[in-house]
A and B are shown apart, each in its own frame.
Chain A
Amino acid sequence: MAARERPHTDEAIVPNEAERHAARRRAEKLQIVAFFGIMALVPFGIGNDYYLHILIYIGLHLILATGLNLLMGYAGQVSLGHAAFYGIGAYASGILTATYGWNPWLAMLAALLLTCVVAWLVGKPTLRLRGHYLAMATLGVGIIVAVVIRQWTDLTGGSAGLTGIPSMTFFGHELTSDQDLQYYYFVWAWAAALTVLFANLVASRPGRALRALHDSELAAQVLGVDTAGFKVRAFVISAAYASIAGTLYAHSSMRFLSPTPFGFHTSIALLVMVVLGGQGTLWGPVLGAFTITLIEETLRPYADYDIIVYGLLLMVLMIVMPGGVSRALGSLIDLVRGWVPALRGGDEP
């Protein structure tokens, strides 16, 4: 398949169009640099390990949500069990390093491969069918993985958890547990790299083909786009993002894995991050990751009531901002631009 598609161009063809495309890409690059630049400075503004901890989680959620966004916002498919791939990444990394003493990077690679193989096996047959069979299949995978983690005690430690996971190393340097700041930068560097990869992927020729098949699968097929193949690839890539986030989680400061973070609740939370933030946009999942992680942390003291408040908040947000927070912010900016003449023009392409 790949050999038959000669990639002859990445941008649009009409000169005017190519310029606009380039301008859009430049603006996007600038936004990415600005955002991650700010995130690099944030630790200097906070002296509290707890906040740093939350920011690490936000980084992980950002990676997960961005991967899922590729599947939902571009390939038009839903995964109801993305936490399973997160879990496979985490546990494969954890077990290989803690039990078998592998190098963390090697274990990360093995975890990534394993996740991709599982995703491919799930996606290959289900994505040939039209409709949301993938959602059903991933729901099943989510349940199976959760059960395996809980029940295969010899391997995973079961409910008691998996302990003794070593620290991540970085060019011989150990990212030790009492140094959250180092790990913060490590996670956010991954987040930045994977965001850039995502932006490039979406702007490329395959990215456009993905958007096309989201709009009309029939028309894309008729033009010779291998729609099933594209969907499988998008799904495998999104699972790979989850696997990387899982590995990063396994080596984070606690260096301990329990089944809880890889259950159905997380799959739904990820789904919500993407939809709430605005699927099909670069910044939507980022906003979603911040919003949901912060909401969950804020609601923690309310213990049993948090799920009720969580549900209510989601309902209100979806009613007020049906296109997602990022699109709502976009229209707000447009509105302000209309009021303030000095802001008009400028970066508008």
Chain B
Amino acid sequence: MLRLTSVDASYGRVRALRRISLHVDDGEIVTLIGANGAGKTTTLAVISGLMPAASGTITFGEQTVTNWGPSRLVRAGICHVPEGRQVFGSLSVADNLQLGAYSTGLSRQEIRALMREQFERFPRLEERRTQLAGSLSGGEQQMLALARGLMSRPKLLMLDEPSLGLAPIIAHQVMAEVQKLREEGLTVLLVEQNARAALRIADRGYVIETGRIVLEGSARDLLDNPEVQRAYLGKGYREIWE
């Protein structure tokens, strides 16, 4: 469904991505793990058109979508839920959802039906639909960010650190929701610092370090990989230090 072939990107003269190649197949959950500043968020930004790719190609479905604008990519079916939730705090929950369908060109009825769908998925949001999004709790805001993304009827959902700053139980619920979405046929590209949680629900994973993909494999293999365990899963510290 999505394929990046040796994509480069840079912030000014700092190269952030070096020859990134990865692919996400239909119906998969693929996770991108790595430390802070490794290039996870940049990878998503290049895919969703926020940042230009200096070289390389990105294909989505049958189309080559390299350096398309964000609104065109949204209409093509790519949805990017950015890091830190980024809800529109001074707008109501309902207005937030409506903006989710901003680029779709859907009719009023279709938007209404989509909003209904989100309220069924997240009943909490319906209870709070006239409240300002800024007054929601962290978990509710993450649900809202997710629901807002789904308002564009995406084929590919890209989530950037959805569990960041959430209580473990809430983070768990978010991950469960992601799994449910996959069962409904959505394809997911998941960026996470919490590598363990991400690998548990993912089919495959990529490890990114200083802008390069250094390792890829099935989620199972990555979970068992001693290097990954040491660097990202916090295992083996005892062995190292003692």
- Using a CB–CB distance below 8 Å, which chain A residues touch chain B? 4-6, 8-9, 12-14, 16-17, 20, 208-209, 211-212, 214-216, 218-226, 280
Contact = CB atoms under 8 A, between A and B. Distances in A.
Contact of B90 (A214, A218, A222, A223): A214
Given A8-B108, A209-B99, A211-B91, A223 B86 contact: no
30 contacts: A4-B71, A5-B102, A5-B105, A12-B94, A13-B94, A13-B108, A13-B111, A17-B92, A17-B129, A208-B91, A208-B98, A208-B99, A211-B88, A211-B90, A212-B88, A212-B99, A214-B90, A215-B90, A216-B86, A216-B87, A219-B82, A219-B86, A221-B50, A221-B70, A223-B100, A224-B69, A224-B74, A224-B102, A224-B103, A225-B103
A12 B89 CA distance: 17
Contacts of B108: 8-9, 13
Given A218-B82, A222-B82, A225-B71, 5 more contacts: A8-B105, A211-B90, A222-B74, A223-B74, A223-B103
B155 interface: no
B172 to A, nearest CB: 24
Contacts of A280: 90
Contacts of A216: 86-89
Contact of B91 (A9, A20, A215, A221): A215
Closest 6 A-B residue pairs measured CB to CB? A224-B71, A224-B103, A219-B86, A216-B86, A215-B88, A224-B74
Contacts of A223: 70, 74, 99-100, 102-103, 148, 152
A229 to B, nearest CB: 11
Given A223-B74, A223-B100, A17 B94 contact: yes
A209 B100 CA distance: 11
B48 interface: yes
A160 B148 CA distance: 59
B70 A14 contact: no
A219 B151 CA distance: 13
Contacts of B153: none
Interface string B87-124: 11111101100111011011110011001000000000
Interface of B: 48, 50, 69-75, 80-82, 86-92, 94-95, 98-100, 102-103, 105-108, 111-112, 115, 129-130, 134, 145, 148, 152
Given A212-B88, A219-B88, A225-B102, A14 B71 contact: no
A212 B91 contact: yes
A221 B69 CA distance: 10
A17 B80 CA distance: 27
Nearest to B105: A6
A312 B75 CA distance: 53
A215 to B, nearest CB: 4
A17 B87 contact: no
A20 B89 contact: no
Nearest to B92: A17
B89 A215 contact: yes
A226 B87 contact: no
Contacts of A218: 50, 82, 86
A14 B113 CA distance: 10
A6 B103 CA distance: 8
A214 B134 CA distance: 13
Contact of B102 (A13, A209, A214): A209
Contacts of B98: 12-13, 208
Contacts of A208: 91, 95, 98-99
A220 B98 CA distance: 12
Contacts of B73: 224
A258 B84 CA distance: 51
A204 B214 CA distance: 48
A223 B97 CA distance: 11
Of the listed residues A6, A14, A211, A214, the one surrounded by the most CB atoms of chain B closer than 10 A to its CB is: A14
